[in-house]
Amino acid sequence: MPPVTPMLAATARAIPPGMHYEAKWDGFRALVFRDGPEIELGSRTGKPLTRYFPELADGLRAQLPDRCVVDGEIIIVRGDRLDFDALTERIHPAASRVRQLAERTPASFVAFDLLALGDDSLTAAPQRDRYDALAHALRGARHPLFLAPATRDQALAQRWYEEYEGAGLDGVIAKPPDQPYRPGERAMVKIKHERTADCVLAGLRHHKSGPVVGSLLLGLYDDAGALQHVGVCAAFPMRRRRELMDELRPLVMASPEDHPWADWAQAAAHETRRMPGGPSRWTGTKDLSWIPLRPERVLEVAYDHMQGDRFRHTARFRRWRPDREPRSCTYAQLAEPARFDLSEILSPRPR
């Protein structure tokens, strides 16, 4: 019965040998619970997602075994790539808007683990047996339900790692084939892409604990010369947060009027520019205010991949770049992976 905390992954730099390998999907992690006509989609944190994906609930009810619990990822495909922004648009309070988006950008579900089938819990079974049972249960599955491709071939997993990024995936997951399902534990390994970029430091947010640095706001200049907000870096020890606050205090602007993101508080401005302080679909009431800094310093950050014109995940601070001029920090420096047709990944294939 829900909620169940999904099994999680720790990060590694290289693909380990002797594992069960899958692509790492870039969507909403979800557990699907079905008991006859009843179906529920639960998020990684246990929050219900069913109301946001009515078309997915109907499609899964039509194809999943009558009683089961399946672990997987909710995705939205546009063209030949995953579209995470379209996915976040679904977290909307208005049911009419959700229904409209369900017709315009229907979601899919990629299943990669089976926790229960009929009256039997499979969490104690080895990973390879759970996947085999899942593949048998989903034979003949069609949109919106897909079986995640898997392999025991490390060389093939390496090829997936290199090629699938072009379809919007962000790495490879490795699972010990003899391991049971361990809810809430980092019992898998994720190998994600990492690149670096030189960004303009344009602002900061306070940490939830008080007036120390919580996150640094990053910017890149576009072709028109406008500074676009591309993401944040946030993982600092508490001592470093205090040091950063002292170090950056001279850059704090007395008034935001002359800042490139001066009109951030106006909702209409976010329709044409990427700036901090936009509404949060997940929390609604989250404080997204920030402190403007004179955009004079450059820092190098590590990132995994881009989602449109922003970093998909929180970037990681690497070093200050006093040798770089802020105006030289443009999108041109970012690597663009070769395109890869997502339909090739979601098509049935031998393991």
Which pLDDT score is estimated for 344?
Answer: 84
| pLDDT band at residue 79 using 50, 70 and 90 as cut-offs | confident
- pLDDT over 70 (residue 214): yes
At 305, is the pLDDT very low, low, confident or very high (cuts 50, 70, 90)?
Answer: confident
Dihedral sign computed on CA atoms, order 300, 253, 261, 244: positive
First-last CA distance in the chain:
31
At 266 the pLDDT is: 59
Give the CA angle between residues 122, 124, 125 to the nearest 5°. Answer: 65
Confidence of residue 258 (pLDDT cuts 50, 70, 90): confident
Residue 17 has pLDDT above 80, yes or no: yes
Question: How many Å apart are CA 151 and CA 277, to the nearest integer?
Answer: 42
Residue 285 burial by CB count (10 A; 0-12/13-18/19+): exposed, middle or buried?
exposed
Distance, CA of 130 to CA of 182 (rounded, Å): 13
Tokens of 34: 């079905």
Q: DSSP secondary structure string, 62-111? A: HHS-SEEEEEEEEEEEETTEE-HHHHHTT--S-HHHHHHHHHHS-EEEEE
Say if CB 203 and CB 261 are below 8 A apart: yes
Q: Specify the pLDDT at position 185.
A: 95
The pLDDT-based confidence of 267 (bands split at 50, 70, 90) is: very low
| pLDDT at position 269 | 47
Q: Is the pLDDT of residue 271 over 70?
A: no
pLDDT value at 281 more than 60: no
Burial class (CB in 10 A: 0-12, 13-18, 19+), 251: middle
Distances 84 to 75, 91, 303 between C-alpha atoms, Å:
7, 12, 16
Q: What does the pLDDT read at residue 36?
A: 95
| Helix ranges, the chain (H) | 54-63, 84-88, 95-104, 127-137, 154-163, 238-248, 342-346
* Residue 203 in this model has a pLDDT that exceeds 60: yes
Query: Does the pLDDT of residue 336 top 60, yes or no?
Result: yes
Average pLDDT over residues 48-65: 95
- State the Cα–Cα distance between residues 236 and 251, nearest whole angstrom: 19
What digits encode the pLDDT tens for the residues 140-160? 899 999 999 999 999 999 999
Which residues make Cβ contacts (< 8 Å) with residue 156, sequence separation at least 6? Answer: 21
When the pLDDT of each residue in the chain is averaged and rounded to a whole number, the result is: 89
**% the chain with pLDDT above 70:** 91
pTM: 0.75
Number of helical (H) and strand (E) elements in the chain, helices listed first: 7, 19
Q: Which two tokens stand for residue 159?
A: 């090829």
What residues are annotated to the active site?
Answer: 24
